[in-house]
C-alpha cells in the first residue's frame, strides 16, 4: 500500500458495504489475505441471499413462470413483447430522432447511447409508453429487486466499424459479484451474425462450484490476469464452464420486439459478429443497487428524476476530468446532428 492508499483506508473499508468491486482500485477488496479468509466470497454469497429476499418481496409483480425462469436460467425471455403497431411506432421515432448522445469505443466496436430522461422522452411518445408500461416495468423491477428502475437508453452497437482489437464485451464474463439487472428490447432482428447477447443458462446461481471458483480467482486477482477481471468483472474461459458444471452458452438469435431481462452476475458475452460491419439497435436498461440493502426502495417515480440528474452530473464530471487531462472521456458526448 502506498501513502495515499493508507490515508484512504477508511474509505476503502466503508466501500465494502457497497457494490465496489475492483481488486486493483481498492486494496481491501484486493487483499490476498482477506480474500483467503473469504472476504470476496462472503460478499458474493451475502449479496446473493439479499437479492433473493428482495425478489421474494417483489414476487407479486410478475407471473410464476417468470419467477421460475429467472431462478432456473438467470434470464426472462419474452418474444413479441410488444404489439406490432407499438413496436413499429418505437422503431420509427427512434430511428428518426436527433438527440444528444454519447459514444464509447471498445476495440473495433462503437456503442452509442441516448439517455431516456424526462426531456428526451417528451419527444418520443411511443418509447415513453414502453417505459411506462407496467408489464415492462414490473419485469425489470423484479429482476433488479427494486421498486424503481430509472435508467433506460436507446443503444446501438456497431462492430467492425473501426480499427481496433476484438470487442472486449465478446469475452465471457460476469459484470460484478452482485445480482443485478440488464434488459434489452431489440429493435433489430438479431442473428448469430450480428453479435447476439449470449448467456450461460443457470450461471447466475451461487452454487458450491461457483463459490469455490470465485474463491480461487479472488486470491489470485489483484493484478494477476486481465484488467477487466482485476477491476471485478471476472473473465471466464469456455473451459471453466466444465469446472463450474455449466452448459454451453446460449446465443439469443431473436426477432425484433423480443425482450430479454437478465441477471448479469451470470456468465455472458456479446456474440461475435461475422457481419462486418454489424449493427444492433435496442432499448437498453440497467439497474445495480447497493447489494447489501435488504429493502427494494421506494416506489415514487419523481425520485427517478433525481437519480438521472445525478447520473448526468457524474457524466459531466467525467467530461471535465478528461478535459483537464487533455483526453476524451470514455463516454464521449455526441451533439445533435
* Identity of the residue, 137 or 270, whose beta carbon is nearer to ligand AKG in the bound complex: 270
Asked if residue 204 binds ligand AKG (CB under 6 A), the reply is: no
Asked if residue 256 binds ligand AKG (CB under 6 A), the reply is: no
Q: How far is the CB of 115 from ligand AKG (least distance, A)?
A: 16
Asked if residue 270 binds ligand AKG (CB under 6 A), the reply is: yes
- From Fe ion, ligand AKG, none, which one binds at residue 197 (CB under 5 to 8 Å depending on kind)? ligand AKG
DSSP 275: S
Distances (CA, A) of 14 to 36, 260, 291, 294, 297: 20, 34, 14, 18, 21
* Identity of the residue, 102 or 270, whose beta carbon is nearer to ligand AKG in the bound complex: 270
Rounded to an integer, what distance in angstroms lies between the CA atom of residue 265 and that of residue 208? 15
Rounded to an integer, what distance in angstroms lies between the CA atom of residue 51 and that of residue 45? 10
> What H or E segment, with its residue span, contains residue 251?
strand 250-251
Under 8 Å CB-to-CB from 97, ≥6 apart: which residues? 114, 123, 124, 154
- From ligand AKG, Fe ion, none, which one binds at residue 270 (CB under 5 to 8 Å depending on kind)? ligand AKG
- For ligand AKG, what does the binding mask look like between residues 141 and 160, x meaning CB under 6 A? ----------------x---
* Identity of the residue, 54 or 182, whose beta carbon is nearer to ligand AKG in the bound complex: 182
How is 118-165 classified by DSSP, letter by letter? Answer: HHHHTT-HHHHHHHH-HHHHHHHHHHHTSS----EEEEEEEESSSS-S
Asked if residue 268 binds ligand AKG (CB under 6 A), the reply is: yes
CB nearest Fe ion: which residue?
Answer: 175
Rounded to an integer, what distance in angstroms lies between the CA atom of residue 116 and that of residue 130? 11
* Identity of the residue, 81 or 153, whose beta carbon is nearer to ligand AKG in the bound complex: 153
Q: How far is the CB of 20 from ligand AKG (least distance, A)?
A: 18
Q: How far is the CB of 197 from ligand AKG (least distance, A)?
A: 4
Under 8 Å CB-to-CB from 108, ≥6 apart: which residues? 159, 160, 161, 162, 163, 164, 165, 166, 167
Sheet strand arrangement including 152-159 = 75-78, 259-262, 181-186, 278-287, 152-159, 109-115, 101-106, 332-334
- Select the residue interacting with ligand AKG from 109, 180, 194, 264 (CB under 6 A): 264
Binding site for Fe ion (CB under 5 A): 175
> What H or E segment, with its residue span, contains residue 40?
helix 39-57
Q: How far is the CB of 170 from Fe ion (least distance, A)?
A: 10
DSSP, collapsed to helix, strand or coil, labels residue 326 as coil
Q: How far is the CB of 280 from ligand AKG (least distance, A)?
A: 7
DSSP, collapsed to helix, strand or coil, labels residue 20 as coil
Segment interacting with ligand AKG, rule: CB under 6 A, options 64-72, 134-142, 213-221, 262-270: 262-270
Looking up cell 453479435 gives 195
* Identity of the residue, 167 or 175, whose beta carbon is nearer to Fe ion in the bound complex: 175
* Identity of the residue, 25 or 168, whose beta carbon is nearer to Fe ion in the bound complex: 168
- For ligand AKG, what does the binding mask look like between residues 173 and 202, x meaning CB under 6 A? --x------x--------------x-----
Segment interacting with ligand AKG, rule: CB under 6 A, options 71-79, 253-261, 263-271, 329-337: 263-271
Rounded to an integer, what distance in angstroms lies between the CA atom of residue 57 and that of residue 302? 22
Segment interacting with ligand AKG, rule: CB under 6 A, options 70-78, 87-95, 98-106, 264-272: 264-272
Q: Which residue(s) pair with 157 in the sheet? A: 111, 280
Residues that bind ligand AKG (CB under 6 A): 157, 169, 175, 182, 197, 264, 268, 270
Amino acid at each position: 500500500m502506498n501513502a495515499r492508499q493508507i490515508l484512504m483506508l477508511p474509505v476503502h473499508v466503508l466501500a465494502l458495504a457497497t457494490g465496489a468491486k475492483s481488486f486493483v482500485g481498492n486494496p481491501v477488496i484486493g487483499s490476498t489475505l482477506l480474500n483467503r479468509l473469504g472476504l470476496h466470497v462472503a460478499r458474493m454469497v451475502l449479496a446473493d441471499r439479499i437479492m433473493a429476499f428482495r425478489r421474494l418481496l417483489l414476487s407479486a409483480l410478475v407471473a410464476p413462470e417468470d419467477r421460475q425462469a429467472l431462478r432456473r436460467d438467470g434470464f426472462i425471455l419474452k418474444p413479441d413483447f410488444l404489439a406490432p403497431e407499438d413496436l413499429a411506432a418505437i422503431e420509427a421515432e427512434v430511428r428518426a430522432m436527433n438527440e444528444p448522445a454519447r459514444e464509447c469505443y471498445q476495440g473495433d466496436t462503437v456503442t452509442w447511447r441516448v439517455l431516456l430522461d424526462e426531456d428526451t422522452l417528451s419527444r418520443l411518445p411511443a418509447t415513453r409508453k414502453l417505459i411506462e408500461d407496467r408489464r415492462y416495468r414490473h419485469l425489470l423491477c423484479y429482476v433488479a429487486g427494486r421498486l424503481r428502475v430509472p435508467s433506460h437508453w436507446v443503444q446501438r452497437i456497431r462492430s467492425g466499424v473501426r480499427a481496433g482489437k476484438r470487442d472486449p464485451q465478446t469475452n465471457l464474463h460476469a459484470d460484478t459479484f452482485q445480482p443485478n439487472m440488464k434488459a434489452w428490447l431489440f429493435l433489430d432482428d438479431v442473428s448469430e451474425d450480428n453479435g447476439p447477447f449470449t448467456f450461460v443458462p443457470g450461471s447466475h446461481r451461487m452454487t458450491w462450484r461457483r463459490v469455490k471458483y470465485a474463491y480461487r480467482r479472488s486470491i489470485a486477482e489483484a493484478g494477476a490476469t486481465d484488467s477487466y477481471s482485476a477491476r471485478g468483472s471476472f473473465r471466464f474461459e469456455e473451459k471453466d464452464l466444465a469446472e463450474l458444471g455449466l452448459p454451453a452458452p446460449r446465443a439469443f438469435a431473436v426477432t425484433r420486439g423480443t425482450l430479454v431481462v437478465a441477471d448479469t452476475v451470470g456468465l455472458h458475452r456479446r456474440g461475435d459478429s461475422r457481419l462486418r460491419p454489424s449493427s444492433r439497435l435496442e432499448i437498453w436498461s440497467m439497474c445495480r443497487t447497493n447489494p447489501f440493502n435488504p429493502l427494494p426502495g421506494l416506489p415514487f417515480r419523481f425520485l427517478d428524476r433525481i437519480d438521472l440528474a445525478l447520473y448526468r452530473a457524474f457524466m459531466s464530471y467525467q467530461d471535465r476530468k478528461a478535459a483537464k487531462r487533455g483526453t476524451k472521456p470514455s463516454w464521449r458526448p455526441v451533439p445533435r446532428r
